[in-house]
Amino acid sequence: MAAWDDGDGRRDGGAEASFAAFLAAYNDINAMYDAFARRSGVSVTEFWALLYVSEGVTEQHELARTLSLSRQTVNSAISKLVERGYVELVPDATDRRVKHVRLTPAGEAFASEHIGALHGLEERLWSGFDEYDRNELGALLAEFRDAMRVALSSVWDDDPPPLHRSARSRRR
């Protein structure tokens, strides 16, 4: 079946156009999140790492998995956050090889100011939609995500990245 084929060999221009609109909106939203992160004074990766650390993700390998980034990229961002005084690395009580990322008082202040502002903005905007639209949008996006995971599993030799576990899932 050709791309955007409706199943009868005809082109489905409506599906193609609506998907293009979906991708444009998705890319625009991601660009706005990235701009918000950069305007807070840290890199995009540093911002999302701080957000997840503030939500309880404390191991660097878990941050890498959650952000769908390499360990090296996350380690570099964490090193910069240590230099900035926003986080510290604390050895695990039972396994000294494991270091947990913990917000410092400066990191807590950053999270309160910038991440708190973002959450407040999101909550205000989301509550502007009626309950039906909120539920429908969430359900449709989850359905698309699940279909994408199945489709990717059929083309990749390994599994797609794990789903985010945070109540406030974000991209990097």
- Please identify which residue in the block is written with the tokens 């950069």: 38
φ, ψ of residue 2 to 5 degrees: the values are -75, 160
Residue 44 CB neighbours (<10 A): 19
Pairwise pLDDT comparison (19 vs 8), residue with the higher score: 19
pLDDT in tens, 70-100: 999 999 999 999 999 999 999 999 988 889 9
**The pLDDT of residue 171 is above 60:** no
Question: Which residue would you say has higher pLDDT here, 102 or 3?
Answer: 102
Q: Which pLDDT does position 158 carry in this prediction?
A: 74
The H or E element spanning position 102 is strand 99-103
Q: CA 158 → CA 70, 74, 125, 144, 150, distances in Å?
A: 16, 22, 37, 20, 12
Average pLDDT, the chain: 88
- What are 116's two structure tokens? 């708190």
Closest CA to 50 of 91, 122, 111, 5: 111
Instruction: Tell me if 125 sits within 8 A of 118, measured CB to CB.
Output: no
Q: Could you tell me which residue, 163 or 102, shows the higher pLDDT?
A: 102
CA–CA gap between residue 87 and residue 79 (Å, rounded): 9
Per-residue CA distances from 17 to 33, 52, 136, 140 (Å): 24, 35, 20, 17
Residue-wise pLDDT for 110-164, tens only, equals: 999 999 999 999 999 999 999 999 999 999 999 998 898 888 888 887 776 666 6
Q: Tokens 């079946």 identify what position?
A: 1
Report d(CA 143, CA 56) in Å as an integer: 27
The top-scoring range by mean pLDDT among 15-19, 46-50, 67-71 is 46-50
